[in-house]
Amino acid sequence: MSQPFHIVVCGSVAPDPLQTLEPVMGPAGPGLKNEMLLPNVLDPWAAHALFEAAHLAKSVAGSKLWLVSLGPKAKLQQVMMTVAQKVPFELVAIDGPAGGFVDAVETAAVLADAITAIPGLDRARLLVFGGWESATRCAGATLQLVGERLGIADQFQGVDRLTLQPDGRVRVLERIEGGRHQVSICEGAPFVVGWATGYLPEPPNNPQVGMANMRAVMPALQKARPAVLKQDGLTLVRVEQPKQVRETRVVKDLSADEIARDIVAWIRGA
């Protein structure tokens, strides 16, 4: 049987996808219009990672689970009221920006420092989980940079499933080109997993889990240390929504190749 894991999930808040998001340029740089008034949720990719991590921690006795989250303290508190009812975890909160205009390199540095500072963390048993992508940044690089800063060489990105083997090794189902999966066998911790979707459903709300979590979440939010991301060398000249373009043609009796050529010609001329 596998030794207990120390699982750290990196995940932040994101605006509710049902809201209309309008980018604007402010005095401090680009952002979203009325950003602090928008309702937030846990980043969907990070949510997959958290649910998968909780399942793994539950299946291996003695495992521990932390959620390391970088975001505005007020938004973290709002989101944690909901997330805390899903699965048991310990929160490590960092008060800082979490929008789509934050540099992945600086974000990774802050997250790696926070992980290193977790009391009692055993690096030999460490698994770092997170989203392969992000609903805010879509950089696809933050989690990889966190792993590199922690000195973890074994990394799997675009993972759909992780299965613990009887001998303690881990079987990883990782997306590759052509709609296929690569199957890897990892000898054990430490390693990094960037989750694509996972295969577990969202756990139902459990008030008892929520009450147990909130007893530690509120003090963690109060002790959240501030993080300043300077974004040195990063300049965004303009931010805007993609323009909606609709051009309709009704044509009959064209072959698939002819349709494809028309589409390519339209994209090139757009």
Domain with 207 in it: 6-226
Q: Is residue 260 part of a domain?
A: no
Q: Is residue 245 part of a domain?
A: no
* pLDDT tens-digit series, residues 132-191: 887 776 667 888 999 999 999 899 998 999 998 888 889 999 988 888 889 999 888 899
Tokens 């079987």 belong to which residue?
171
Q: CB within 8 A of 134, min separation 6: which ones?
A: 12, 14, 43, 45, 46, 140, 142
Q: Is residue 43 part of a domain?
A: yes
Interval 181-204 mean pLDDT: 88
Hey, what amino acid is at 72? P
Q: Is residue 220 part of a domain?
A: yes
Q: CB within 8 A of 71, min separation 6: which ones?
A: 12, 13, 94, 95, 96, 97, 98
Q: What is the pLDDT of residue 118?
A: 93
Q: How far apart are CA 13 and CA 98, in angstroms?
A: 7
Q: Decide: 131 and 45 in contact? Cβ < 8 Å.
A: yes
Residue 97 pLDDT greater than 90, yes or no: no
Q: What is the pLDDT of residue 2?
A: 67
* pLDDT tens-digit series, residues 11-66: 888 887 777 776 777 666 666 777 777 788 888 888 999 999 999 999 899 999 99
* pLDDT tens-digit series, residues 115-136: 999 999 999 999 999 988 877 7
Q: Is residue 168 part of a domain?
A: yes
Interval 222-249 mean pLDDT: 73
Residue spans of beta strands (DSSP E) within the chain: 6-10, 13-15, 23-26, 29-32, 40-42, 64-71, 90-95, 126-131, 155-164, 170-175, 181-186, 191-195, 225-226
Q: What is the pLDDT of residue 116?
A: 94
Q: What is the pLDDT of residue 133?
A: 81
CATH code of the domain covering residue 143: 3.40.50.620
Q: What is the pLDDT of residue 104?
A: 81
Which of 100-104, 132-136, 233-237, 243-247 is predicted least confidently?
233-237
pTM for this model (two decimals): 0.81
Interval 229-235 mean pLDDT: 65
Count how many domains the chain has: 1
Interval 110-115 mean pLDDT: 93
